[in-house]
Structure 1
Amino acid sequence: MSTLRNGFNSIAILGGGPAGLATGWALEELGHTDYTIFEKSSVHGGNARTVRFGDFKYDTGPHRFHARHPEATRLVSGLLGPDLQEVNAPARIYWEGRFVDFPLRPLQILKSGGLGFAVKAATDLVTARIRSRNAAPPEDFQTYAYNWFGKTIAGTFLVPFSERLWGLPGPQLSPDIAGRRLPGFSVAGIIKETLFGSKKSDHLEGRFLYPRKGYGQISDKMAEKLSPGRLAYSQRIVGLETNRDRITSVSVKTGGEVRTVSPEAVISTLPITIIARMMDPQPPQEVLDAADKLQFRDVVLVALFIDQESISDAAVTYFQNPKYEFTRAHEPRNRSRDMSPQGKTSLVIEYPCFRTEDIWERDEKSIVDNLVRDLDQMGLIKGSRVFASDVHKMRDAYPVYSKGYKETSDIIKSYLSQFKNLWTLGRGGSFFYGHVHDFVTDGFSTAEGVRAYLNQPAGVGV
């Protein structure tokens, strides 16, 4: 083990995904260039990168940038300029051989299911709303979904899909997984659509911003803002040494060599579960137990390259039927024509899983063959037109919001907060299912906090 002098990187940023890159960019803006971003892979961007396959490009998920946060939009717009384009493409659900809009449009769902389904769904919805009016706030997602949408709609669409997506039964999931995706399906909504009709734009989050060269262009542009040599690849963090209320050293493995750096400040975007387990001395048992309880969902991505110009106009398609292992697909060219060569298209399909499941280790050819067969049988593609495929695996893609996850994650966060020179952010570092617009602003606020810490007089806060 070799030790590098402290000045090598007075600020160590762990992880070269969007949160880590944004923090490095922000430090540059503040005049701090004595930092190093340690990225374990050979590329930056984390789970929000764009993969190249011949003349094709595809993102590691159907990412989109919504202009909901003015500061993040200003920063990213400044980065990309005219390459940040507005896209208008709908989302949809494949349900029993047909497509319905997502988020759910009340009258469309009721009409598509037939008279019997419509009556049962409407009755369940009204009954659920009446019964839940004075009920205590639901403690699990299944109860939330039943209370809000009724058992017919919730049991057909929301609960089964969420169970496949998150890998846990509905009663074990937190209501927080609903996020902003489910509002809109209501008694009032049904009445409004019945009497006045409705435009798709009233329901679908189909209008968003997207980089011309793929979502990874955001990370690429942030990386260009860094001083030369500040982004170090193939650097795996294997240990953190602590002394009282400070991180005193970081152990980094490159190839077969482990070396240590002694930064003044550490900014981690790694999963908090990993950070807790690699600390020396070990955290209290309560913290380690909490790290064992929290889960992250992994994803197997399959990209199919197809000899036809287009499959649909949808930004993303969700698959409701539990018989399928995959949950959603997106066609990259519907976000930007630069993602596919002229006359051809691609389809990227997601298999959420845990690394302990069969799909993670399954033979790639078997995955692709079964997928092409299923999509062909659905009528979504012609299997004979698929001329190539690519499989990409993502570890710790997003945190699982199980019941009690807040209390459990707070145990770890509380422990980590005692270290005055440690900051955590990003999906893994905050155990928060956030997006790039969140991480860009978090990176800038974190950089401000680090600057304040480094600029305080000697002995203050130490």
Structure 2
Amino acid sequence: MTSTQIRSFSKPVTNPSNPTVVIGAGPAGLTAAYHLAKHGIKSITLEKADKVGGIARTETYKGYRFDIGGHRFFTKVPEVQHLWYEVLGDEFIKVPRLSRIYYNGKFFSYPLEPLNALNNLGMIHSLQIMSSYLKVKLRPLPEETNFEQWVTNRFGERLYQTFFKSYTEKVWGIPCTQIRADWAAQRIKGLSLKKAVINALFGSNDTKTLIKEFDYPLLGPGMMWERFQEKLNQQGCPVYPNTDVIRVEREGNRVKRIIVRQDNGETYPIEGENFLSSMPISALVHRLDPLPPENVLAAARGLKYRDFLIVSIIIDEEHLFPDNWIYIHSPEFKVGRIQNFKNWSPAMVPDPSKTCLGMEYFCSQGDEIWEMSQEDLIKLASREVVELGLVDDINKVKDGTVIRQKKAYPVYDAEYSQHLKVLQDYLDTYENLYTIGRNGMHRYNNQDHSMLAGLLAAENIMGAKHNLWTVNTERSYHEEFLTKESKAYSLAASTK
């Protein structure tokens, strides 16, 4: 049995064997466990799913490999980049970024190319966009509390209506006026119409969302997290999949043990000195025993999530289009984004005469899309890919499968910040419990940001005093955020 095939405990594992218990084997949890292991601190990592990586995992169907959403490996955090190369080495490939927007029957280059946009929109629509942009520059909206206001102040109302509104509402399932400006500030900060035009005309670009090239593991992002798992198992810090945390037992403001259930139905207690959790923060507080006060539970119930499913279809065509992915802004199509996995890495597709597309649908548990059968979803994806003009014959769709991902995106609605503050204040009272990762902090971040949170949480266990809640997406891209203590840890690790 290989290290990645470990499925169950032979007996309950108790303190002091496990100074640290990590809940969730996504980028944040695995990074934290790995960083601790490099400094001689043992851990045990528990994952509810059957494979590691969380939403950054790679799924496989009949030899075809596909992401749960595309994951570029690009960062401005040196410590994170160092880890990527340390763990995966020369198994990265360089991938040129190419993505487009489908809107109103036409494909628009993204990042913006002025001539392409002008030709697709027409002179009148383009002039209206520029007029709207100049108008808001002269008289900005006085408030920027929601997504619509934030984008309008930077791009003008006309461009917001053309390119931002329909896609954003398709992703989140709520009006843009109900989405907090925080989300826009995290995801597209630093980008403006003026900057986009300058980038397009002169080729300069330092905006993270508009990079021209990125690293990518040869066999998909899951390859990275599988390597983390292998290295941790080899260092005596086991990673156990198919292990669900069903109860978190506490005494006062310290967690004493957790109760886990494995896929064979057996339950075990696991004790530890410190606990790191990347499970959804709303689920964590409901698993605490004794339960927190009612106001904390109410705040947890108030947090919302957007779910996601991907229909991976195999097309009998060697080449379809050159993009890594295409955003579908037109509201008449239910699909939100289309990945072409062969263009991320040719090794993702076992038959070079075929193409594998990931048709991504943003949905919520219980709604029409989520409740559709696999057969009906494959039919829907096949029909839409033909109606979009990306495949010329529906009979070329030869096979497909569906992967559903619950709680893929934490929702930034009007109430989320007040709910999250209640949970943050409560969990900050715990002496040995740290929440990390996208769902652990209810923060829509990238994998490098999750890894940074994992690194800093591990350093807190080693004696540092990082406030993990202040690590937002923008600050995570500045090296100066990391303390001297943090850099010393990284330097010591790199010399071992």
Is 1:432 paired with 2:429? Answer: no
**Which secondary structure state, in structure 1, belongs to the residue aligned with residue 168 of structure 2?**
helix
428-437 vs 216-225, which deviates more? 428-437
Query: 1:378 — aligned with what?
Result: 388
Is 1:324 paired with 2:325? Answer: no
Structure 1 residue ranges without an equivalent (≥5): 454-462
Matches of 1:8 and 1:202 in 2, distance apart? 46
Matches within 5 A, 1:298-309: 298-309=307-318
Counterpart AA for 2:166: P
Matches of 1:370 and 1:19 in 2, distance apart? 35
Matches of 1:10 and 1:72 in 2, distance apart? 24
Matches of 1:450 and 1:197 in 2, distance apart? 48
Give the TM-score of the pair, scaled to structure 1: 0.91
Matches of 2:333 and 2:454 in 1, distance apart? 38
Matches of 1:43 and 1:366 in 2, distance apart? 27
Is 1:112 paired with 2:120? Answer: yes
Identity %: 29
Counterpart AA for 2:172: W
Task: Work out whether residues 60 and 301 of structure 1, in 8 Å CA contact, stay in contact via their aligned partners in 2.
Answer: yes
Q: 2:285 aligns with which of 268, 271, 276?
A: 276
Query: 1:351 — aligned with what?
Result: 361
Query: 2:456 — aligned with what?
Result: 445
Task: Work out whether residues 28 and 225 of structure 1, in 8 Å CA contact, stay in contact via their aligned partners in 2.
Answer: no
How many Å apart are 1:167 and its aligned residue? 1.7
Q: 1:224 aligns with which of 214, 226, 230?
A: 230
Task: Work out whether residues 103 and 181 of structure 1, in 8 Å CA contact, stay in contact via their aligned partners in 2.
Answer: no
Deviations 1:370-391 (A, max 9, x none): 2211211221013221111010
Q: 2:162 aligns with which of 156, 169, 179?
A: 156
Query: 1:71 — aligned with what?
Result: 79
Query: 1:459 — aligned with what?
Result: none
383-392 vs 251-260, which deviates more? 251-260
Counterpart AA for 1:186: L
1:188/1:361 CA distance change after superposition, 3 Å: closer
1:181/1:312 CA distance change after superposition, 3 Å: farther
Is 1:174 paired with 2:180? Answer: yes
Task: Tell me how many residue pairs correspond in the alignment.
Answer: 446
Is 1:14 paired with 2:23? Answer: yes
Task: Work out whether residues 106 and 186 of structure 1, in 8 Å CA contact, stay in contact via their aligned partners in 2.
Answer: no
Matches of 2:17 and 2:164 in 1, distance apart? 51
Task: Work out whether residues 110 and 121 of structure 1, in 8 Å CA contact, stay in contact via their aligned partners in 2.
Answer: no
Task: Work out whether residues 111 and 196 of structure 2, in 8 Å CA contact, stay in contact via their aligned partners in 1.
Answer: no
Q: 2:276 aligns with which of 264, 267, 270?
A: 267
Matches of 2:195 and 2:389 in 1, distance apart? 35
Task: Work out whether residues 277 and 288 of structure 1, in 8 Å CA contact, stay in contact via their aligned partners in 2.
Answer: yes
Matches of 2:51 and 2:390 in 1, distance apart? 33
Is 1:51 paired with 2:59? Answer: yes
1:201/1:316 CA distance change after superposition, 3 Å: farther
1:131/1:262 CA distance change after superposition, 3 Å: same
Root-mean-square deviation (CA, aligned residues, Å) is 2.2
**Which secondary structure state, in structure 2, belongs to the residue aligned with residue 226 of structure 1?**
helix
Structure 2 residue ranges without an equivalent (≥5): 1-10, 465-496
Matches of 1:447 and 1:227 in 2, distance apart? 18
Matches of 1:260 and 1:106 in 2, distance apart? 61
Task: Work out whether residues 88 and 206 of structure 1, in 8 Å CA contact, stay in contact via their aligned partners in 2.
Answer: yes
